[in-house]
Amino acid sequence: MLSIIVPCYNEEATVALYYEELKKYLPELGEYELLFVNDGSKDETLKKCLEIKAQDSNCRIIDFSRNFGKEAAMLAGMSVAKGDYVVITDADLQDPPKLLPEMLKILKADEHLDSVATYRVNRKGEPVIRSFFARCFYKLINKMIDINIVDGARDYRMMTSRMVKAVLSLSEVNRFSKGIFAWVGFETKYLEYENVERAAGETKWSFWKLFRYALDGIVGFTTIPLRLATIAGLLVSAFGFIYMIYIVIKALAFGDPVAGFPSLIVIITLLGGIQLIVLGILGEYLAKTYMETKRRPVYIIRDIL
């Protein structure tokens, strides 16, 4: 059986469109279950999902008590899914259902393969600045961590139940799935496709939300920024030490009385800046540790329909 997980947040305009498109490929997928995760939508998403459920007995709806974010929705879907194969897909048709039969076929054909993932070959239709920062992010994070996160990789991926089990065994509360999928390992095949623009409605990601997401990804997967902070501290101290020797020698040799005021200001602001950055980095990790120690559930299910 194949479990199709569809996280939905304010997707009243797209769920029906998604189902219409999906329906074309369902006969090729064999036994399936369709799991909508209603992530605390404030619009009519739940009603639209219920309408689909009325026509399709293989459809279930996980209804959250409020909006917990897509990471939580994916996690809930995976915990509830019963399929031997599990696929996560957006409701806005940016993850074309057309690929599903192919993904399933590839996965079934190869014993050693546990996941078929997708990535976009281009970012057509996306703001240029966003694409630029996204590229930088992938370069940066891949330099810092041992595992490889593919640039442009989507969350659209089909996995075997054993890989899902591995993903679920990671109990962290701050979840960065792109990293987790790579971290658990398993043989993954990547399919590429052209970027598709959202069918209707609008994206839930503002620039700052994406920025936070990127930071969460880095903090969640590597402690290298902490080490960089130490190194920056060492470099600055070394510089200060050398400068001190220079001043002492200069004073002894030339009897230079008062060093310049501007240089003092420069050094004070530079040091102040570096200290604050280092504190900020520490704070990021401390905050994450704090949230993790609370062991709060990642999501709360109001009802499963």
Question: Where on the chain is the footprint of Mg ion (CB under 5 A)?
Answer: 90, 92, 94, 198
- Residue 93 Cβ, how far from Mg ion at the closest point, in Å? 8
120 is a site residue for ligand UDP (CB under 6 A): no
- Residue 218 Cβ, how far from ligand UDP at the closest point, in Å? 18
- Residue 225 Cβ, how far from ligand UDP at the closest point, in Å? 25
If the CB atoms of residues 96 and 233 are measured against ligand UDP, the closer one turns out to be: 96
Q: Which of residues 159-188 bind ligand UDP (CB under 6 A)?
A: none
d(CA 257, CA 199): 72
DSSP secondary structure, 45-62, as one string: HHHHHHHHHHH-TTEEEE
If the CB atoms of residues 165 and 209 are measured against ligand UDP, the closer one turns out to be: 209
Contact 233, 278 (CB under 8 A): yes
If the CB atoms of residues 119 and 186 are measured against ligand UDP, the closer one turns out to be: 119
By CB under 6 A, the count of residues binding ligand UDP is: 17
- The values of phi and psi at residue 70, to 5°, are -65, -35
Residue 187's H or E segment, with its range, is: strand 187-193
- Residue 226 Cβ, how far from Mg ion at the closest point, in Å? 33
122 is a site residue for ligand UDP (CB under 6 A): no
For residues 244-282, one letter each, b for 16 or more C-beta atoms within 10 angstroms of the residue's C-beta and e for the rest, the string is eeeeeeeeeeeeeeeeeeeeeeeeeeeeeeeeeebeebe
Q: Which of residues 16-75 bind ligand UDP (CB under 6 A)?
A: 39, 67, 69-70, 73
If the CB atoms of residues 120 and 164 are measured against ligand UDP, the closer one turns out to be: 120
d(CA 72, CA 294): 16
7 is a site residue for ligand UDP (CB under 6 A): yes
Choose, by CB under 6 A, the member of 2, 9, 117, 158 that binds ligand UDP.
9
Q: Give the up-direction half-sphere exposure of residue 40: CA atoms within 13 A in the CB hemisphere.
A: 12
d(CA 64, CA 42): 11
- Residue 16 Cβ, how far from ligand UDP at the closest point, in Å? 13
204 is a site residue for ligand UDP (CB under 6 A): yes
If the CB atoms of residues 92 and 114 are measured against ligand UDP, the closer one turns out to be: 92
Q: Which of residues 77-96 bind ligand UDP (CB under 6 A)?
A: 90-92, 94
SS3 119: strand
For residues 140-169, one letter each, b for 16 or more C-beta atoms within 10 angstroms of the residue's C-beta and e for the rest, the string is ebeeebeeebbebbbbbbbbbbebbebbee
Q: Beta strands 2-8 and 85-88: pairing type?
A: parallel
**N- to C-terminal Cα distance for the chain?**
19
DSSP-assigned beta bridge partners for residue 36: 6, 61
- Residue 3 Cβ, how far from ligand UDP at the closest point, in Å? 16
217 is a site residue for ligand UDP (CB under 6 A): no
- Residue 77 Cβ, how far from Mg ion at the closest point, in Å? 16
Q: Which parts of this chain interact with ligand UDP (CB under 6 A)?
A: 7-9, 11, 39, 67, 69-70, 73, 90-92, 94, 198, 203-205
